Amino acid sequence: MLATTKVYGCIAHPIDHVKAPTLFTSIFNKKKIDAIMIPIHVYPENLENVVNSLKLVRNFHGMTVTIPHKQSISKLCKKLDDDALFTGAVNWIKFDEHRNLIGNNFDGKGFINGFLGQNYILKDKRVCIFGAGGAAVAIAYALTDTNIKSLKIINRNVNKAFHLKEKLTIKHKSLSVDVSNVDNYILDDCDVIINATSLGLRDGDQIPFDVDKTTKNSIIADIIMQPKDTKLLKTAKNLGRSIHYGKYMIESQTDLVGQFLEIW
């Protein structure tokens, strides 16, 4: 630690589970960048006050934003990227040279980059997403830039799925988007099936969808990082499907973050 060390943060409540301070401080070290990331534990009602003050700390340059601040911080930003605008959520902020707050959301692009980075292909593929919440919206939005053939959104609350479809087709008129209910869906017309719900995070969670319904050549992707081998991915592996781990969505965000922060 030096007087000149640049300080970044990871703002959350609760704080005990966050991994970003460890991950990014270690990346800074490896890249020989004089910077650290500290955990910043702030209750929801204090977010605005703290963010306005961090603006006044001249050696504080940005932070990753997680639960429960992702939506509320977007309202404090002077500028949002398209992903943050579409999702209404921000997972990284920085202060620009005028100390204005800039908010981005790298979840969607992170998923895409991670998926392509494992040498899977999205072009002309029929993609299915389970979920219509934060992560699903981010991934669906990012998918509209990837020349997929079609998108199917499957969600318990089917209205939420239709709402997402509507928003997506405003942006990308020619994209074919289907919506299904979780009680009645087919998957044998899909090449890539993504779990973008939180099912799999907790021990007793049910499997988010029936892998038996997928074709032998389909790829099963999860966004759950912990545990690495979710019930879904274990089942898919046993049935001989190609699988894609949740960790890649976060890991491949680091390149995007470095560009955003202009540090690598």
Residue of the chain from 57, 67, 186, 239 that contacts a copy of itself (CB under 8 A): 57
Contact region with a copy of itself (CB under 8 A), list: 34-42, 133-141, 163-171, 184-192 = 34-42
What residues have CB less than 8 Å from 146, skipping those under 6 apart? 112, 122, 123
Least gap, CB of 25 to a copy of itself (angstroms): 4
Check: CB of residue 104 under 8 Å from CB of residue 96.
no
> Binding residues for a copy of itself, how many (CB under 8 A)?
35
Least gap, CB of 257 to a copy of itself (angstroms): 16
Residue 105 to residue 90: CA distance in whole angstroms: 5
Q: Establish if 27 lies at the interface with a copy of itself (CB under 8 A).
A: no
Contact region with a copy of itself (CB under 8 A), list: 46-54, 81-89, 110-118, 124-132 = 46-54
Residue 176 to residue 31: CA distance in whole angstroms: 42
Q: In what order do the strands lie in the sheet with 60-65?
A: 35-41, 6-12, 60-65, 92-95, 101-104, 79-80
Contact region with a copy of itself (CB under 8 A), list: 38-46, 137-145, 216-224, 246-254 = 38-46
Least gap, CB of 47 to a copy of itself (angstroms): 9
* Helices of type H across the chain: 20-30, 47-54, 70-74, 82-87, 107-117, 134-143, 158-171, 231-238, 247-251, 253-261
Residue 90 to residue 77: CA distance in whole angstroms: 9
Q: Establish if 41 lies at the interface with a copy of itself (CB under 8 A).
A: yes
Q: Establish if 40 lies at the interface with a copy of itself (CB under 8 A).
A: yes
Q: Establish if 170 lies at the interface with a copy of itself (CB under 8 A).
A: no
Residue of the chain from 46, 159, 226, 259 that contacts a copy of itself (CB under 8 A): 46
Least gap, CB of 8 to a copy of itself (angstroms): 10
Residue of the chain from 30, 32, 58, 216 that contacts a copy of itself (CB under 8 A): 58
Check: CB of residue 66 under 8 Å from CB of residue 18.
yes
Q: Establish if 3 lies at the interface with a copy of itself (CB under 8 A).
A: yes
Q: Establish if 2 lies at the interface with a copy of itself (CB under 8 A).
A: yes
Catalytic residues: 70
Give 239's DSSP letter: T
Q: How far is CA 105 from CA 145, 195, 201, in A?
A: 15, 19, 22
Least gap, CB of 123 to a copy of itself (angstroms): 39
CB atoms within 10 A of CB 122: 18
Question: Which residues bind to a copy of itself, rule: CB under 8 A?
Answer: 1-5, 7, 10, 15-19, 21-22, 25-26, 36-43, 46, 49-50, 52-54, 56-60
